Amino acid sequence: MGRIERSAAARADLISHFVYLAQEAGETIADRFLDRAQESFGLLAEQAQIGPVVPTQIPTLVGVRKWRVRGFDRFLIFYIPIEGGVRIIRILHSAQDWWGLLDLAD
């Protein structure tokens, strides 16, 4: 498996989504979300070019790609291919203002 790096924001996103899903849909669904997110990260680490590039002219976002969490299609993974894997930047719900929330400073 390729290397998977997670930003602090991505780790916080996973916790936030887990808590929300546990409260709203139950712990079984929340656990499944985390499992599927990890599976999706693994896929991206092996095939980093699979996700489409996010079209932007914002210099700090050039090269960012997105993919969805398998089985939780409304949750988007924003990542950058790195040597030997991927760096996960954020995991955001599609209804969120993801343009405003993407942050590559971390």
Name the class of domain 3-98: alpha beta
Closest C-alpha to 87, from 1, 5, 2: 5
| pLDDT for 57 | 75
- What pTM did the predictor assign? 0.90
Distance CA 43, CA 50 (A): 9
Mean per-residue pLDDT, 2-12? 95
C-alpha angle with apex 39: 48 to 4, nearest 5 degrees?
50
C-alpha 5/C-alpha 56 separation (Å) is: 23
Higher pLDDT, 75 or 60: 75
